[in-house]
Amino acid sequence: MTVLDETPGDTTSATDSGTASDATVETAEPTDSRGRVAELHAIRAQALRGPSDKATEAQHAKGKLTARERIELLLDPGSFREVEQLRRHRATGFGLEAKKPHTDGVITGWGTVEGRTVFVYAHDFRIFGGALGEAHATKIHKIMDMAIAAGAPLVSLNDGAGARIQEGVSALAGYGGIFQRNTKASGVIPQISVMLGPCAGGAAYSPALTDFVFMVRDTSQMFITGPDVVKAVTGEEITQNGLGGADVHAETSGVCHFAYDDEETCIAEVRYLLSLLPSNNRENPPTVSCEDPAERRSDVLLDLVPADGNRPYDMAKVIEELVDDGEYLEVHERWARNIICALARLDGQVVGIVANQPQTLAGVLDIEASEKAARFVQMCDAFNIPIVTLLDVPGFLPGVDQEHGGIIRHGAKLLYAYCNATVPRISLILRKAYGGAYIVMDSQSIGADLTYAWPTNEIAVMGAEGAANVIFRRQIAAAADPEAMRARMVKEYKAELMHPYYAAERGLVDDVIDPAETREVLIRSLAMLRTKHADLPSRKHGNPPQ
């Protein structure tokens, strides 16, 4: 969480940064209004230009954009309004009094994305390496407070080397103020962290507190302790990207929701995500006109999903058939791939989709899948996004590692998230729905508003083979031909307890539907549920499993 005294931002000379305003005034102090205005424009031009051309070139040489270039990509053209552009630090010692550039290494303000207000702060790595000092932190605190008060999303463009060690504990306290505001804003306004450079030490906790984290390969890293410390303590040798690069956090740790090859694509996807989110928790997500007919049949689904529960298929293709124009944004695409979490639209209305993925681990729930889906369900519920759950789940993943890793409490996170959600909730059982996993995946018994099933559904405590082995083990063992007896008992169990209409006959499924009509059924059901209102018990907050 420290920054070296010599950083690309520190290459700026005292003339370039520390006395920028003085350098623009070559004559006596102006005495009339026109002179004052000219002085103001000169100071602003210096602040907009940045510390030096050399520092800008160094930033571009790393394949990175400057903070202002990033803001221009994020916001609608000409909409950015900067706050505290002329702010300077007041620290002294270690040469800081000679380096007092405007902005103090962070650009803050607001603008619009597709016409809607969005607040933003962007670290300027050219100034003090983007390191956080007292004035720098105060600027961030102010823009966060403004975003919360205005009820508008907050996007942070992170490219900073940590705390400014020359300012000591004052810099550290600045992080505390950011964390406190991240927590205050959680579930109130969307918070998006875009990692475009290094983020080490305590600074990494701010992105972890936000709703979504974007990263760019090769140029952004996040870790609590860097490679040098890791080597000193454990003897392990690893690169910065190997320890905390975009691919590591997108595939292994789950810290990163989206990873891209370049900043332009990354920021464009941030804009797309914002188009799917409401401005705050008191609003609904934006609605768009839809030319994809609500009553469109999807006969391809009849062949896409095999009736044989042991045959895999790609659930992503099912989602493409159901949603508007086949478009959706998958969250955590490369982490816990046995479950899919995605934002999409049905008839122009935003929905959150949670779906088992039979192509990976047969779609079972495990520790990572439970955590991934639980956080996604909580996000949808916080921001008034209806949830559609697509089930094809054979159960929880068995194994010593899973049990010792806490599958009970991690699985309970998903259960808690669904039970606590008050947004419209629809579940659809495509094939298997076995055991506790069936209950956890938004079954009617835990509060799903509507539950549908395809004629290929199998809802049971466990698979027919396992159930027959338990129930009829004596008959099978005593039979002259145990295998033939087992096959007969499996068939009998399926016919008696696992036929497609068993749950519907008992009111546990609202309807068994033609797969080709699924899109229309979901859209009509969501339209009915749009005015749903549900209250939770009066309490300070729940105590969810950790």
Q: What is the 3-state secondary structure (H, E, C) of 510-545?
A: CEECCHHHHHHHHHHHHHHHCCCCCCCCCCCCCCCC
Q: In whole angstroms, how far apart are CA 413 and each of 174, 227, 350, 388?
A: 32, 33, 24, 18
Average pLDDT, the chain: 89
Q: Position of tokens 């902005």?
A: 103
Residue 199 lies in a domain: yes
Model confidence at 3, pLDDT cuts 50, 70, 90, reads: very low
pLDDT mean over 376-405: 97
295, part of any domain: no
At 92 the pLDDT is 65
Catalytic (active site) residue 437 = yes
> How large is the average pLDDT for residues 328-348?
98
Cβ–Cβ < 8 Å for 302, 515: yes
Q: Indicate whether 332 and 235 sit together in one domain.
A: no
The pLDDT assigned to 491 comes to: 78
Q: Name the active-site residue from 105, 133, 197, 201.
A: 201
pLDDT of residue 1: 41
- Contact indicator for 109, 119 with CB cutoff of 8 Å: yes
At residue 309 the predicted structure's pLDDT band, cuts being 50, 70 and 90, is confident
224-266 pLDDT, tens digit per residue, is 888 988 989 999 999 999 999 999 999 999 999 999 999 999 9
197 and 308 inside one domain: no
343 in any annotated domain: yes
Which residue in 151, 187, 202, 447 is the catalytic one? 202
In the set 122, 412, 433, 437, the catalytic residue is: 437
Across 13-27, 405-419, 523-537, least confident range: 13-27
What 3-state DSSP class applies to 351?
A: strand
Catalytic residue selected from 151, 436, 447, 466: 436
Going by the DSSP 8-state scheme, the letter that residue 311 receives in this structure is S
The verdict on 311 and 380 lying in the same domain is yes
**Count of H-run helices and E-run strands, the chain:** 22, 17
Q: Establish if 111 belongs to a structural domain.
A: yes
State whether 430 and 510 are in the same domain. Answer: yes
| pLDDT at position 466 | 73
Active site residue 201: yes
Q: Percentage of residues in the chain with pLDDT exceeding 90?
A: 64
The answer as to whether 293 is a domain residue is: no
Would you call 266 helix, strand, or coil by DSSP? helix
DSSP-derived pairing of the beta strands 106-113 and 116-123: antiparallel
CATH at residue 332:
3.90.226.10
| DSSP per residue, 112-177 | EETTEEEEEEEE-TTTGGG-B-HHHHHHHHHHHHHHHHHT--EEEEE---SB-GGGTHHHHHHHHH
Strands, E, within 140-236: which ranges?
154-158, 191-195, 198-200, 212-216, 221-223
343 three-class SS: strand
DSSP type of residue 250:
I
Domain end (from 260, 276, 292): 276
Cα gap 498→487, rounded to integer Å: 15
Q: How far apart, in whole angstroms, are the C-alpha atoms of residue 391 and residue 9?
A: 52
Say if residue 324 is in the same domain as residue 272: no
The answer to which of 18-22, 43-47, 95-99, 443-447 has the lowest mean pLDDT is: 18-22
> Cα separation of 215 and 341, whole Å?
18
pLDDT at 196: 95
| pLDDT of 493 strictly over 90 | no
431 inside domain: yes
Say if residue 172's pLDDT is above 90.
no
To which H or E segment does residue 450 belong?
strand 450-453
Predicted confidence (pLDDT) at residue 4 exceeds the cutoff of 70: no
Lowest mean pLDDT among 55-69, 167-181, 357-371, 378-392: 167-181
- Kindly report the pTM of this predicted structure: 0.89
Phi/psi-derived region of residue 442, left when phi > 0, alpha when psi is between -120 and 50, beta in every other case = left
Is the pLDDT score of 12 beyond 90?
A: no
Strand partners, 120: 109, 155
Residue 537, exposed/middle/buried by CB under 10 A (0-12, 13-18, 19+)? Answer: exposed
pLDDT (mean) for 367-379: 98
Q: Are residues 209 and 310 in the same domain?
A: no
The answer on 134 and 233 residing in a single domain is: yes
- The pLDDT score that the predictor gives to residue 28 is 64
Tokens linked to 171: 């810099």
The domain of 406 spans 300-457+500-529
Mean pLDDT of 182-205: 93
539 found inside a domain: no
Q: What single-letter amino acid sits at 512?
A: V
Residues β-bridged to residue 433: 393, 459
Q: 449 and 343 in one domain?
A: yes
Structure token pair of residue 362? 């047969």
Q: Tell me the β-bridge partners of 195.
A: 158, 215
Give the lowest-confidence range in 338-347, 408-417, 430-439, 533-542. 533-542
Residue 202 bears catalytic tag: yes
Confidence band for 87, pLDDT divided at 50, 70 and 90: confident
Do residue 62 and residue 108 come from a single domain? yes
pLDDT at 465: 74
- Output the CA torsion sign for 20, 24, 28, 31: negative
Same structural domain, 245 and 331:
no
Total domain count, the chain: 2
pLDDT beyond 70 at 276 = yes
Do 246 and 115 have their domain in common?
A: yes
- Whether 515 and 373 share a structural domain: yes
In a domain, 423, yes or no: yes
Whole-number pLDDT of residue 5? 36
| 436 part of the active site | yes
